[in-house]
Each structure stands twice: as structure tokens, then as C-alpha cells.
Amino acid sequence: MNKLVLLKQYLLSKHIRRFSSRKAIQVYQNKKIKKHLAFVLTHSPFYQNYYQNHQLEWETLPVISKREMMDHFDELNTAGITKKEAFQLAAKAEKTRDFSPKINHVSIGLSSGTSGNRGLFLVSEKESAMWAGEVLAKLLPGSLMDEHKIAFFLRANNNLYESTKSSKISFHFFDLVEDLKTHQKRLHELKPTIIIAPPSMLRMIAEWKGNNLIDITPGKIISVAEVLEDVDKTFIEEIFQQNLHQVYQATEGFLATTCSHGVLHMNEDIIAIQKEYLDKEKGIFVPIITDFTRRTQPLIRYRLNDVLIERKTPCPCGSHFLALERIDGRCDDIFHGIHEQTGKKHMLFPDFIRRAIMLSSDDILEYKVTQKELFLIDIKLKVKNEKSVAEAMVLQELEKLWKENMLVLPKFTFTAYDLMASDRKRKRIENVIVELLVKT
């Protein structure tokens, strides 16, 4: 049954569902969401209560976040699974590295907790098959009849990922907690046709290939889990001599993937996107998603903690799905400064920091910038040539950025670059301030 569901979803996504305009997408979404709401309001006690005294026009329903989802986990899901038993199963899987057990045929996943708040996700067997069909349709080169060996690097395996297996497609999970030498040896022997991994791991693999430590020629490489920085993208593409593709996948679902031109498009055939603009002129927004395919753990008007930048020009691929310039990072990692004249808090988006670093010097191979305090910024650089020269140029660009925004200059410090690929998500732009001392 689930194989048929997978095949149906694959065919719908790859060959049948076509939208001639933004209006056609909206008509399709409204029809799907109306049907979805009818189910959710019958089976989810949380939403029944949450939507009392509200007109059921979905676009204006109250927004929820991860906090509400986790606080009301037991009443929100429709499978009768408690947060306690879900966490117990997920925690056991983390310790044993056996991610196959389910609860009542429902797979349990645990997010990495990048923002300090780990989340649980529930996926039924039917939803898992639908997810697999959608993923294969949008990521797999060629057809389902072609043979593929997929190397998948993640912090944790899940039944969801295993559902992509077939007689033609072999799935090989690489556990990021294992030794890098083990991964190197397995990759060399496997010679995968597709590699899916966080950009920090992909960069490591590219370095192995560049140093002739592995002999692999994958047909497609896909970045997941972390923000893909230009410095990593350029390096990986140069080594493998191909476009690097990207997937925006989170606890909350299969959100976006790149087209043949390498442009990231939101998967608006399975989710509806509303924009909470942080800077409308620059197209910077926080997405509010409604997933009309997931019934086990419904997500309606769910506010993500991500900062996205919309693409201003149409994509050459012709798709009318919302196109992104980039995923900029987490809301938590927006930098803050104090305006010289007003004394008020002012935002600096990760993309501003990123551009300042990359414009400063062509010698920069890798970097990390961390706001440790309101007036303390730490910078780690890995460079080709003279480090002191690159540091001086970076300092100049960052000071220029702060001055252009009329912000009080913080103290900029430089420390040794000591970052390695690991099971933790890498952030090149990170704000670790627990609480801002100055409020608007």
C-alpha cells in the first residue's frame, strides 16, 4: 500500500501537478487546506480549542510556534501519542543509534535543537510514503527505474529517510557521530551516485577528493540541515565540477528544494507560505507555514524561526513556486547594535555580516562570526596567505558596516579557526547573547 502511495505522490509531483500562475497555486492550496481543516478540527483537541471564536478563514487563524506545539504536544497530534513516550523513544534511539522503533506505526523524530529548544515530529507510514515520493520526484536525477546509491550524512537516521529505499535505490546512512576516517573509507568503497549532507560535511568530503584521499564522482550533491554559505558552495562546486543543490528540510517538513537552475523554491504543492516581513524592501521575511499533507501532527499557521530572502526576479526554470535568494539563518542569529542617535536596538541580518566578510578578502577560505555580547564580536578566519592582512581587511569592512548603519562600534576580536565537521549544526553567523541588555 505504501509503495503505491509513494508512486502516486512521485507521479503527481514530477509529471502531473502543474501550475500556470500564482493564482492557480492559491486556488489549489485553498481547496486542500479547507479539506485539511475539516479533518484537523475533528481529530485535534488543541486546534478545536485554539480556534474557538474564530472565523475559519485559514489565512487569519492564530499563529503558533514551536513553543505552543511542544507545550500542547499531547492534544495537538491526532495519533494519541504523548510527549513523554515520544521523547523516551527518541532519546533511546539517540543512545543506541537504532532509529527504527515506532509507536503505533508512527515514526518519531527529534530535531537537533539549533536554537536551544529540541522539537519532536511525528510521521505516519502513509505520510512517510508521501514524503518519500515528493522527495524522489524533486531530487532524484532521471527516473525511479535508474539505479542510485545515496549516501546520506545526518546526526540521526529515521524511518522517514529509509522509506526512499527500493530495488533500484539503495540508501546508505552515514552517522555524523562516527569517526571521519570511517566515513572516508566507506565513501571511497561505496562510490555513491548521490551525496546528501550538511555543507560542513560536504566541504570535508570535497577536501578529501581534492587531496586524492577518495575517488568518487557523484552525479548530484545536495546540501541539507545547515545554512549554505557562498564560501562553502564555491569550494564544493569547484572540486566536484557541478552545481551544488540544496534542500530546506526541517522538523516542520519538506519546505523547499532547488530547481535545475540551482534556485531554491518553496514546495507550495504541499505547504502554503505566508510572509512576516522583517524588511519588505529587501525581501527579508520569516515564513509562516501551513502543511496540508500532515495529519498526524498538524501544522497550521506555524511560525518558523528562520530568516528567508525572497528572489526579486523570475526563475529561468519557469516555476511559479516562491523562489528564494537564500536561507539567511535563524531569527536567533540576527546581530544587534545600538543606534548612535536614538539609543535603540537595531538589527543586522546575517546576510549583511556574510557579505562584509566575503567582500573583505579573496584569501578567506572559512570563517565564523559570533556576537558574544552586545558590544563584542568574535571572528575566526581560515585564510590562504597572510592572516594578519585578511584580519585587517575584515575589521575594516565590519567597522564600515556598523558605521553605515549608524551603530555604536563594538569590540572586534580575532581567535583561532578551530571548527571541524561534527554532528552539531555549523553556523558561520551566530548570536549567542542570552538576553539583550537594551530593549526597544
Q: Which residue spans within 75-157 are E strands per DSSP?
A: 106-110, 120-124, 148-154
Are residues 241 and 387 both part of a single domain?
no
pLDDT at 412: 96
Between strands 306-310 and 323-330, the pairing is antiparallel
Cβ atoms of 380 and 415 within 8 Å: the answer is: yes
Are residues 294 and 339 both part of a single domain?
no
pLDDT at 438: 38
Residue 209 grid coordinates: 577528493
Can you give the CATH number for the domain in which 363 is found?
3.30.300
Host domain of residue 66 = 2-330
Are residues 68 and 8 both part of a single domain?
yes
Residue 35 grid coordinates: 479539506
Cβ atoms of 387 and 408 within 8 Å: the answer is: no
Residue 427 grid coordinates: 553556523
Are residues 101 and 211 both part of a single domain?
yes
pLDDT at 165: 56
For 103-123, the DSSP string reads: BTTEEEEE---TTS---EEEE
Residue 39 grid coordinates: 479533518
Report if residue 438 sits inside a domain: no
Rounded CA-CA distance 67/73 in Å is 10
Can you give the CATH number for the domain in which 106 is found?
3.40.50.12780
Report if residue 213 sits inside a domain: yes
Rounded CA-CA distance 431/332 in Å is 7
Choose one of 263, 295, 330: the last residue of a domain: 330
Are residues 253 and 400 both part of a single domain?
no
Cβ atoms of 423 and 176 within 8 Å: the answer is: yes
Report if residue 223 sits inside a domain: yes
Are residues 47 and 150 both part of a single domain?
yes
Report if residue 15 sits inside a domain: yes
Rounded CA-CA distance 199/236 in Å is 9
**Domain total for the chain?**
2
Residue whose C-alpha is closest to residue 131's, from 15, 251, 288, 9: 9
pLDDT tens for the 440 residues of the chain, in order: 577 888 899 899 988 889 999 999 999 999 999 999 999 999 999 999 998 877 778 998 999 999 999 999 999 999 999 999 998 898 888 788 777 788 988 988 877 554 446 778 898 989 988 888 888 899 888 887 888 898 988 766 555 555 555 668 888 888 887 888 999 999 999 999 999 998 989 999 999 999 999 999 999 999 988 888 888 999 999 999 999 999 998 777 889 999 989 899 999 999 999 999 999 999 999 999 999 999 999 999 999 989 999 999 999 999 999 999 999 888 888 899 999 999 999 989 888 898 899 889 888 988 999 999 999 999 999 988 888 999 999 999 999 999 999 999 999 999 999 877 554 677 888 998 844 433 43
- Burial grade of 438 (CB within 10 A; 0-12, 13-18, 19 or more): exposed
Rounded CA-CA distance 146/5 in Å is 20
Are residues 35 and 90 both part of a single domain?
yes
Are residues 382 and 292 both part of a single domain?
no
Residue 129 grid coordinates: 510514503
Report if residue 185 sits inside a domain: yes
Report if residue 437 sits inside a domain: no
Q: Return the ∠ at Cα 247 (arms to 211 and 335), rounded to 5°.
A: 90
b/e 275-299 (16+ beta carbons within 10 angstroms → b): eeebeeeebbbbbbbbbbbbbbbbb
